[in-house]
A and B are shown apart, each in its own frame.
Chain A
């Protein structure tokens, strides 16, 4: 009996010891700060000019033992950098990684993805810890993106000293403007987003007896009414109208296409200008007065309305330029080969300006190998990477040298590029259109899209909704 008792007691003691050890381990692991990593010391040394250029082939480590520091030069080592993306165009992304690693065997690139909807929140959470595991990150595709906000929070590294001048000199002006902030270079563009363009189904226009696409927005309405009258299609026009960022961008793009601006020279918000009200009223008229907008648009974002064009349900679509390639892809579209594009319509004539933007990549401020990361960034966001994205995925390049590159222009995925590059202002838009240093971009966008949706669904008048947007902007700016 006593044996059983002592056995039970010893089991109890073992269990108790394991539990106590576990708790001590967890508590210690959680609260105790790790000792200073070797990389911190390595970084101090690599900042000196003599070693800086050779970092990729040589690593210098300083080891401090007691009071005597010793310096050891080690043979070439391989560094690892992590590239975080949304997974869009994954096959091309992996090809870029492979090509880069072939050229740079000393740098290993790890490709990690977080889907677009959760990207910002997860990345922000990682950056706020001060130990972000990602080196190269995507900074949003809608103007102005997260670059300004992240730079102000101290999450991005200025990289002007790492990127070769010839790459910067080759960048298109709006792309350059996008990645410059407070006189520092914070990234390189992924591609050049011409912005929202007009796309049309050639067969539908022909069937309605329309010889050429509309040059003004009123002409778009007239042609859609003709298409309707001829019985070709009940609701020929489509644009994103859901309460979503895409709808906010649709409105912004239309405002630019009508010749409007978002801010004046003093940085005052112009979203409630007479022209802005006119644009929003035009959107409402297409829905409720002329009834030419497909009803599904009210619940779809840009990618969703593309399906309407691909299914042959609409004749005209105002959507992002890079969707042209999908609309003409036989695997995804029943009207492949029949979808074409034209110069963006304007208010009076075909002089609609584009809301162009260059979605940036940046390097995080916690990056442990900035030179290796910058080298990869120069590949990914440089002419080499841009050419691959253009040919394979239809993303317009942001480099002067590639805009007229015959290989890019003849790529089936780049159909329309020759037309869009002729659009007025396409390469001349200033940073003004992206929002002057709008560090509260994400918060403002949330308010703006809801207010816009209120106007679109008739809950508020256009003027009321736009006034609320300006009020929100001023409120956030004041903070």
Chain B
């Protein structure tokens, strides 16, 4: 291979690398810098170095603690629901025949819809007076439920909406592992008298574990940074119960215009996500 052929690909990559540098790394670096500074309220430029003051203020803030609590509940609910339902869907999609092919198209649709559109759709379905869900429940004599106005169920409501969007994504993460299970193993298990449940428990589950872990890792990251669902459905309410950290960052930065404070919040969120990833990767290695 001559010199030209070695350099050329890198030259073609250069513009992209430059754009990434400008639009990704520069903002990342700048936000890290302003998280240690006071900012000028007129032009948001850093003025005075204040060290970890913003970080200390964030950690000692009640709103942040409440928001982190809500985020963990949301992550737990959405990851477990999405992965469980995704697993079920992937088993369905793994079936042979024309029906499986049709189902594949149907199940992928929610993930193909932009989350904000899906969220607006769910808002209409959850409407206490005009919503589909209450109309359905009413047929069985069940009183109207305020799915998004009751602090005890609002979190579950937004988690279900989120799960509807991402379950098919989880199914797609698991499906290749299911499809790669050799038929012979299943056949010999059947010959040995294993029933469906046993086949799933002792053959399928160990073999699809890596897929499950990938789905859990990616879905966790999605859930940690979820914004559209909260923005469209509850606006962080009722009583701040759905004020997820990403939405909290949005209100702090774009409503209160405290960009330095929001930057420190973002780095704390990044750190939490990173710790989760390290934990998952550790689990992943153990499984392998």
Contact = CB atoms under 8 A, between A and B. Distances in A.
Interface stretch (B86-94, B100-108, B201-209, B229-237): B229-237
Given A12-B7, A23-B14, A155-B42, A243 B147 contact: no
Contacts of B8: 12, 15
Interface stretch (B126-134, B173-181, B212-220): B126-134
Contact of B235 (A9, A120, A242, A459): A242
Contacts of A241: 149
Nearest to A120: B255
Interface string B125-158: 0111110000000000000111111110000000
B132 to A, nearest CB: 14
A340 interface: no
Interface in A98-122: 120-121
Contacts of A308: 129
Contacts of B240: 243, 450, 453-454
Interface in A410-438: none
A363 B259 CA distance: 25
Contacts of B130: 307, 311
A128 interface: yes
B238 A453 contact: yes
A90 interface: no
Interface in B235-255: 235-240, 243, 251, 253-255
A405 interface: no
Given A450-B239, A453-B240, A19 B149 contact: no
Contacts of B234: 243, 299
Given A19-B15, A457-B151, A129 B43 contact: yes
A120 B254 contact: yes
A16 interface: yes
Nearest to A294: B129
B4 interface: yes
Contacts of B22: 26, 30
Interface string A214-247: 0000000000000000000000000001111000
A154 B256 contact: no
Contact of B151 (A15, A121, A307, A459): A459
B238 A8 contact: no
Contact of B238 (A311, A457, A460): A457
Interface in B248-288: 251, 253-258
A298 B239 contact: no
Nearest to A304: B127
Nearest to A19: B14
B239 A128 contact: no
Interface residues of chain B: helix, strand, loop or mixed (majority) = loop
B29 interface: no
A447 B237 CA distance: 12
A153 interface: yes
A15 B129 contact: no
Contact of A26 (B18, B237, B258): B18
Contact of A457 (B44, B147, B150, B236): B150
A41 to B, nearest CB: 23
Contacts of B243: 450
B12 A299 contact: no
A446 B42 contact: no
Interface string A291-313: 00011111110000001100101
A443 interface: yes
Interface residues of A, number: 50
A194 interface: no
Given A242-B235, A243-B235, A442-B255, A299 B43 contact: no
A458 to B, nearest CB: 8
B10 to A, nearest CB: 10
A130 interface: yes
A153 B149 contact: no
Given A19-B15, A298-B150, A243 B256 contact: no
Nearest to B44: A128
A153 B44 CA distance: 10
B41 interface: yes
A171 interface: no
A64 interface: no
B11 interface: yes
A107 B117 CA distance: 40
Contacts of A120: 254-255
A54 interface: no
Contacts of A460: 239
Given A442-B255, A442-B256, A295 B146 contact: yes
Given A153-B42, A308-B129, A442-B256, A295 B238 contact: no
A296 B129 contact: yes
Interface in A350-407: none
25 contacts: A8-B4, A12-B7, A15-B8, A22-B15, A121-B253, A124-B254, A124-B257, A153-B41, A243-B234, A243-B236, A243-B239, A295-B145, A296-B127, A296-B129, A296-B149, A299-B127, A300-B149, A307-B129, A311-B129, A311-B130, A440-B256, A446-B251, A450-B63, A453-B237, A460-B239
Interface of A: 5, 8-9, 12, 15-16, 19, 22-23, 26, 30, 120-121, 124, 128-130, 152-155, 241-244, 294-300, 307-308, 311, 313, 440, 442-443, 446-447, 449-450, 453-454, 456-460
